[in-house]
Structure 1
Amino acid sequence: MTELNSSFSEKKEASSLDKLKQYIYQKMIDHDICEYGYLFVDKFEILNPIIVTNFPENWMKLYHRFKLHMVDPIVNFGFDSPKPFFWPDSLGKMTTRDKKFLSHADKHSVSEGYSFTVHDAKGNFSILSITKMSGEHDFDNLLGVYRAEMQMMLMDIHKSCIGTDY
């Protein structure tokens, strides 16, 4: 019986993740955003985040395999930032490890972006990053038009991950 419950739970989780992926994808398309990454994690159990992204596949394979969210300077800055930020603003005092990480990300065309954050009272954290990988958009104009909507959207996504109001 435990095996059956476990299987049902895994299918339910996969279905929820698929719905989350579709929701985020549709919201990004609606806002004319081509490249994005979303991460949700319990700050006290950081090893198993939920990640939804369309960043390059090779980069994400490395990111998952080596649990790079734990050393990602953008994610680490987001842990301490209550407000959205341009990536260059987060890189004031970079360590050698930060520089190496960003150099590696840049090789996979993940180099310039803007991130929105949500922190809740239960210790959960979400970050939504949109990147300027393709150069198809006027990135600054896009942010000017959608910045407030993107923050609210992230709050809605975060709420769906925790399954309750804050």
Structure 2
Amino acid sequence: MDSRLKYSGFIPADESNSNVCLNLELEKLLGDLQGASYAYFAAPRNREVAPLIISNYPSRWLKAYKNANYHLIDPIIHHGLKSCAPFSWSDALQAASCDKSRELFRRSSQYRICSGATFTLHDACGMFSSLSLCNSGPQADFERRMADQQGQLQMALIRFHSRLLSLRAMDELFPEPQTGPLSARELGVLKWVMMGKAYREIALICAISERTVKFHMSNISGKLQVCNAKQAVYEAQRQGIL
């Protein structure tokens, strides 16, 4: 695999094109397996948030999967959370103890998503990610290809995951649930702004990048319908948020 991949424009400013760009970059990393059906899954292990899914599975299935939070009963995800080594989907299905998990597999079979292999990654930030490849041909041929290319595929997962996190902060990928107009993180950033802290100082205090602080302030200004940080503080105080 060519490790000198070019990532310019990896994540465009236009969010509507973002997933298309992510799919293309992941497909580059898959090398000889371009054209295969795949799914990249990522989520923090210690937070209940919507996962990030990059996939070329049928759009109807992806929509149903996300809307119903099927990741909570997906035997592939459950098995992956307990596994460090690549595994076949048949292994995950055998280990499934929940009838709902087996029923999910039957539903996915309607979209020809019923046989495959999954590679996993547990990173230092507490994130779990996986790369699943769906088999659409003879099982023996698929197993042979997975065995021959397992090192390449594991590295593809590591590189894609690492690059994604270098370009998007955790708060951007997995926003915290909101109990009001501002998330807990946004409220925390705005409080430090109110206290006169510079973006650089807030970044150090919150252990995030200065770019992420600016990202939060941009969101805050948009939600409060103001133009700058000073106006955001005033409007938040007027609304009783601060």
TM-score (norm 1): 0.81
Structure 2 unpaired stretches of 5+:
1-11, 168-242
Equivalents in 2 of 1:71, 1:152: separation in Å?
27
Which residue does 1:129 correspond to in 2? 132
Equivalents in 1 of 2:55, 2:145: separation in Å?
19
Which residue does 1:62 correspond to in 2? 64
Of 153, 158, 161, the residue aligned with 1:158 is: 161
The structure whose residues are more often strand, as a share, is 1
Of 117, 126, 142, the residue aligned with 2:120 is: 117
Which residue does 1:23 correspond to in 2? 25
Q: How many residues align?
A: 155
Distance 1:56 1:19, change over 3 A: closer
State the 1:29 CA deviation: 5.2
Larger gyration radius, structure 1 or structure 2 = 2
With 42-51 and 10-19 compared, the bigger mean Cα shift is at 10-19
- 3-state SS of 2:13 partner: helix
Structure 1 unpaired stretches of 5+:
1-9
The 8 Å contact of residues 115 and 134 in structure 2, kept in 1 or not, is answered as: yes
Percent of paired sites with the same residue: 26
Distance 1:13 1:162, change over 3 A: farther
> CA RMSD for the aligned pairs?
2.4
- 3-state SS of 2:41 partner: strand
Distance 1:45 1:12, change over 3 A: farther
State the 1:68 CA deviation: 1.1
The one-letter amino acid paired with 2:75 is P
The one-letter amino acid paired with 2:156 is M
Structure possessing the higher relative contact order (Cα contacts under 8 Å, 6 or more residues apart):
1
The one-letter amino acid paired with 1:78 is G
Q: Deviations over 1:12-70 (max 9, x none)?
A: 66666443221112233533451111111111234221111111122111011112112
Which residue does 1:6 correspond to in 2? none
